[in-house]
Amino acid sequence: MEYEDRHRRAQRRKLDCLLFDLDDTLYPLSSGIATECLRNIGDYMAEKLGIEQTKIPDLSNLLYKSYGTTMAGLLAIGYRFDYDDYHRFNSTLILLFLLR
């Protein structure tokens, strides 16, 4: 019994940080985070995927409404990109925004 308890404790992952991202449920709209996320996604679409700036707001909105996320929509219509790069690009900018 004691061995099993020690084994269970040893198997638990040790975390330095736990980040919750529940899309607009942990912070008020007035915080500006949602607006910053949209801007970052648009910047990614322009910089990394070569989509024209003028088309981004409508395309992003359509993809979000149709596929649940802009990223899922971009993948569904044929864009190929690294998921980690997409999240790193957007999340890093959000963290910088929060640190201001």
Report the mean per-residue pLDDT for the chain.
83
Average pLDDT rounded to a whole number, residues 20-45: 81
Distance CA 51, CA 47 (A): 8
Q: What is the pTM of this model?
A: 0.70
Ordered DSSP codes for 56-98: HHHHHHHHHHHHSSHHHHHHHTT----HHHHHHHHHHHHHHHH
Q: Which domains does the chain have, with CATH numbers?
A: 32-100 (1.10.150)
Distance CA 26, CA 23 (A): 7
pLDDT tens track for 59-98 = 999 999 999 999 999 999 999 999 999 988 887 767 776 7
Interhelix angle 56-67/33-47, rounded to 10 degrees, is 110
